[in-house]
Amino acid sequence: MPRLMGEDRPLGWISVDDLGKIAALVFADPGRFIGTDASLVADIRSIAACRQLWRDVTGRSPGRFPLPVWAFERSVGTDLTTMWRWLRTGDITFDPSVTRDILPTASTVREWLQ
């Protein structure tokens, strides 16, 4: 079975609260956003870096519940594992400046955890 994404691959992160704020801004001023393609990301961190941030902020390790891939897929389907396999090697660019142009207060992973 192909390996999943891995702990050291950088990923883009954005909080649900910040997505809601951005959605409100878009609905309030649609003319500003019509025809634009905005890849929204407030921070770029690997899973390993996020785990370390969790330890730094909370003083404890994040909870884990190891689950074999086959059991995970049986429970929720294959969409997520397909995405994780692609993310292992797929070419994707993250640029937090796009998000910060829309919402300068968008939270980093550390800020969100705090």
pTM (2 decimals)?
0.84
The reply to whether 6 falls in a domain is no
Dihedral of CA atoms 73, 79, 83, 85 in degrees, nearest 10, equals: 40
* The pLDDT of residue 1: 47
* Ordered mean pLDDT values, 10 residues apiece, the chain (114 residues): 78 96 97 93 96 97 90 95 89 92 97 96
CB 36 within 8 A of CB 42: no
- The contacts of residue 27 (CB under 8 Å, 6+ apart) are none
The reply to whether 3 falls in a domain is no
The reply to whether 5 falls in a domain is no
Q: What's the number of domains the chain is made of?
A: 1
The reply to whether 33 falls in a domain is yes
For residue 42, the enclosing domain spans 11-113
Token digits of residue 17? 């609260």
